[in-house]
Amino acid sequence: MKQFEESVYRLIVETSTNLPADVRRAVNRGRAAEDAATRAGLALSTIAQNIEMAEQEVSPICQDTGMPTFVVHTPVGANQIEMKKSIYQAVIRATRDGKLRPNSVDSLTGSNSGDNLGPGTPVIHFEQWEEDDIDLRLILKGGGCENKNIQYSLPAELEGLGKAGRDLDGIRKCILHAVYQAQGQGCSAGFIGVGIGGDRTTGYELAKQQLFRHAEDINPHPDLQKLEEYVMETANQLGIGTMGFGGEVTLLGCKIGAMNRLPASFFVSVAYNCWAFRRQGALIDPVTGDIRSWLYESGSHVAMNAETEAAPAAPAEAPEKGREVVLQTPISEEQVRSLRVGDVVIIRGEMHTGRDALHKHLMDHDAPLDLNGAVIYHCGPVMLKDDEGWHVKAAGPTTSSREEPYQGHILKKFGIRAVIGKGGMGANTLQALQEHGAVYLNAIGGAAQYYAECIQRVNGVDFMEFGIPEAMWHLQVDGFAAIVTMDSHGNSLHADVSRDSKAKLEMFKEPVFA
Ligand SMILES: O=C(O)C[C@H](O)C(=O)O
Ligand code: SF4
């Protein structure tokens, strides 16, 4: 087993940087179904480009490399204690090399362990089996989509869909609701794994196990197969679209499994995974520890940038693309007030990252520098330091809604003119944008290589004590593109898409699987 640690390392690198073939084909099918001239079409082409860049650079597809979760099947007699130690060592090395972001945070103190090790991280599930080889699988599921997982206890009353009973039709309603409630916040278009039954813990486990199925497999259970097909067709009529921009493609995959339950319990658990659906696996020689073969087809030969064939004609309601506006920082109130939802903004100058720890801190402290006219980027990058200083390895946006309790106040307090993130923000922020004169820009979630390339230099950093993802990085950018989705005139694309998708959800209220 001398090579086992090296094999785990290779698995981590492959999972983080090279999206497998079945996932790539699903994204390509999504691209073919979306009108390329819409905002969602633009988002999908950025995603496609990002997938290729990550493979070329051997860098993370998304900066959030998630909760590393290993599932290991071992032959009888294999030494699981030694394997665990090797997995830890490989995780440390992959973090040091910038293939994983340091993501393990003490829940009470907020301190980041820096190497992805800590109580409960990484997650490792061992199982014995009667085969000769070791089956080692890894999924890197990020925090934003993890937050969109949802568990239903039937019977239930569901927003937009009414009563959901303890039967196949009730399950159908739960799954549609799960896709609806995620909106664009889990970086749609997504993949869902559904677990029917179990208890609260095993139900979620079953849902996550479904994510290890091949995207193109066929469910052996005829009822579940029908349900999967129904969900794929129906969820894509909800109009949530890529990044919640509205559009034809909301869901790229749906896998459903069932297990027994207690008479009193009936759970439907849904694990939502973003388009950056990173999972891979390998069969490993139990004597040498070498990789014998990969378990999911490599994505390397599935091109993402090929022009999509047979793109349908633009749907009548296709949102028009707005203007393209170049903004040099610092930005004036007048410049921001001229922007409208739909405009594409290209930023040049300095921006500052800030997420949960920083927003909380700024509520009752001063900022370390003048933020008048500044741009705040909701982003927790992957950073590496060498003799020349810090370098950005991956830097896409994080889910902005977590900053909703703070954002309005902070905008006004410091004179910030633009906030960049993803998934949109709520009514308080919208009101503050209007009162103070500021704008919310939606960047493409997961496009961490695409945005890293726009960053020319790291000008400095504050609050390193918050850990790398939460620190305030001062970044010099050029050509950083994002779309205005909330403007200073009270318009919010997110509010519109949420309202429209709810109306569409209501169309699926009537029983289908009676
Ligand atoms: O933590 C991040 O960088 C992003 C997160 O996965 C998110 O989707 O909000
Ligand atoms: S930012 Fe988006 S793509 Fe990245 S892990 Fe979070 S949900 Fe997934």
259-269 pLDDT, tens per residue? Answer: 999 999 999 99
pLDDT at 318: 44
Please check whether residues 240 and 156 belong to one and the same domain. Answer: yes
**Which pair of tokens denotes residue 431?**
């009101």
Establish if 3 belongs to a structural domain: yes
Closest protein CA for atom 8 of ligand 1: 144
Nearest to 12 by CA among 139, 125, 127: 139
Establish if 356 belongs to a structural domain: yes
CA dihedral over 183, 185, 189, 194, signed as positive or negative: negative
Establish if 56 belongs to a structural domain: yes
Q: Quick one: which ligand is closest to 140's CA? A: 2
Please check whether residues 342 and 485 belong to one and the same domain. Answer: yes
Q: How many angstroms separate the alpha carbon of residue 318 from the centre of ligand 1?
A: 29
Please check whether residues 237 and 137 belong to one and the same domain. Answer: no
- Ligand 1 near 64 CB (within 6 A): yes
The minimum-distance atom of ligand 2 relative to the CA of 145 is: 7
Q: Tens digit of pLDDT for each residue in 221-251?
A: 999 999 999 999 999 999 999 999 999 999 9
Higher pLDDT, 161 or 307: 161
Q: How many angstroms separate the alpha carbon of residue 292 from the centre of ligand 2?
A: 30
**Which pair of tokens denotes residue 464?**
């390193």
In angstroms and rounded to an integer, the radius of gyration of the C-alpha atoms of the chain is 23
Please check whether residues 99 and 172 belong to one and the same domain. Answer: no
Please check whether residues 328 and 444 belong to one and the same domain. Answer: yes
Q: Which domain holds residue 29?
A: 1-142+286-317
Is-contact 210 193, C-beta < 8 A? yes
Closest protein CA for atom 4 of ligand 2: 446
Angstrom distance (rounded) from CA 481 to CA 450? 10
Establish if 513 belongs to a structural domain: no
Q: Is the pLDDT of residue 313 over 90?
A: no
Confidence of residue 62 (pLDDT cuts 50, 70, 90): very high
List the CATH number of the domain containing 413. Answer: 3.20.130.10
Q: Tens digit of pLDDT for each residue in 89-112?
A: 999 999 999 999 999 999 999 999
Please check whether residues 165 and 93 belong to one and the same domain. Answer: no
**Which pair of tokens denotes residue 221?**
């259970």
Establish if 502 belongs to a structural domain: no
CB atoms within 10 A of CB 256: 25
pLDDT at 226: 98
Mapping DSSP to helix (H, G, I), strand (E, B) and coil, where does residue 301 land?
A: helix
* Residue tagged 């954002």 (tokens): 407
Nearest to 247 by CA among 317, 185, 321: 317
Angstrom distance (rounded) from CA 394 to CA 132? 38
Helix (H) / strand (E) element for 227: namely helix 222-235
Mean pLDDT, the chain, rounded, equals 96
Closest protein CA for atom 7 of ligand 1: 144
Is-contact 184 497, C-beta < 8 A? yes
Angstrom distance (rounded) from CA 424 to CA 407? 12
By most ligand atoms within 8 Å of CB, the mutation choice from 183, 187, 356, 402 for ligand 2 is 187
Contacts of 369 by beta carbon, 8 Å cutoff, 6+ apart:
352, 462, 474
Mapping DSSP to helix (H, G, I), strand (E, B) and coil, where does residue 74 land?
A: strand
Please check whether residues 131 and 203 belong to one and the same domain. Answer: no
Q: How many angstroms separate the alpha carbon of residue 313 from the centre of ligand 1?
A: 34
Please check whether residues 129 and 80 belong to one and the same domain. Answer: yes
Mean pLDDT of 414-427: 98
The minimum-distance atom of ligand 1 relative to the CA of 101 is: 3
Please check whether residues 341 and 448 belong to one and the same domain. Answer: yes
Q: How many angstroms separate the alpha carbon of residue 191 from the centre of ligand 1?
A: 16
Establish if 34 belongs to a structural domain: yes
- Ligand 1 near 424 CB (within 6 A): no
Helix (H) / strand (E) element for 466: namely none
Please check whether residues 3 and 104 belong to one and the same domain. Answer: yes
Mapping DSSP to helix (H, G, I), strand (E, B) and coil, where does residue 403 land?
A: helix
Please check whether residues 203 and 309 belong to one and the same domain. Answer: no
Quick check: ipTM above 0.85?
Answer: yes
Q: Read off the pTM.
A: 0.96
Please check whether residues 339 and 463 belong to one and the same domain. Answer: yes
Establish if 509 belongs to a structural domain: no
The domain tally of the chain equals 3
Mean pLDDT of 290-314: 77
Is-contact 444 43, C-beta < 8 A? yes
**Which pair of tokens denotes residue 305?**
């940038």
